[in-house]
Each structure stands twice: as structure tokens, then as C-alpha cells.
Amino acid sequence: MLELINMRDSIATINLKCLFNNTKKAMMSLHFLTFLIKFHQSEFSNFKSAIYYTGEEKDFMLGIKQGKMNKNEFLELLQEIENKARNLEPVFYNSQLNLQTKTKLQPLQ
């Protein structure tokens, strides 16, 4: 194990091109932004449906991860989704702390 730790810097350079062109991270950035939008659309009542993808949505996200969308198409889509998410920023920041749930959770810590 110590040998692996000592090799971490060289291990990180095994496939540098993947670090520069990381489609999984691209997919995850879109996933996070769409989660914010979907959770808001559910009036913050269905976390599971906002965070999970099924069917065509899942296939689309996996397509991004698999590199089926070119960089310019992805950036255009990401900009559109980011703008929608940014418009929701005040809703998230101005929301009240859910004291009822927080109080129920405190004894469980």
C-alpha cells in the first residue's frame, strides 16, 4: 500500500489525455445543474426523481459520458442549462431552514 501511495504522482500521469477530455466530469456538471432544476420543479418534494435518471434521460446522460456529443454542442447545452439553474439561485438562497426536519435529525446524530 505504501508503494502505491509513493507512486501516486506517476500513476496520475498514466493517461493524461483523459484528464483533459473528461466526459464523465462533463456529464456530472450537467447532472448537477439539471438536478437543481428538476428538484425545484418538484417543489422540493421528490429528491429521488430529481437526482436519478431513467429511460431516455439516462441514455442521453450516458451518451455524454461516452463522448457522443461534441464539445461545442455540449458547451451550448451546458450554457442553456446553467442559465436556467442560475435563474433559480434566489429561490434556493432565500429558502428557510427546515427546522422541523433538522430537529428530528438532531437526536439521531
What pLDDT does 14 receive? 85
pLDDT above 90 for 109 = no
- Grid coordinates belonging to 48: 429521488
Banded model confidence at residue 1, pLDDT cuts 50, 70, 90: confident
Which long-range contacts link 77-84 to residues 24+ away (Cβ below 8 Å)? 77/30, 78/26, 78/29, 78/30, 78/33, 81/30, 81/33, 81/34, 81/37, 82/33, 84/33, 84/37
Mean pLDDT, rounded, of the chain: 93
- Grid coordinates belonging to 32: 448537477
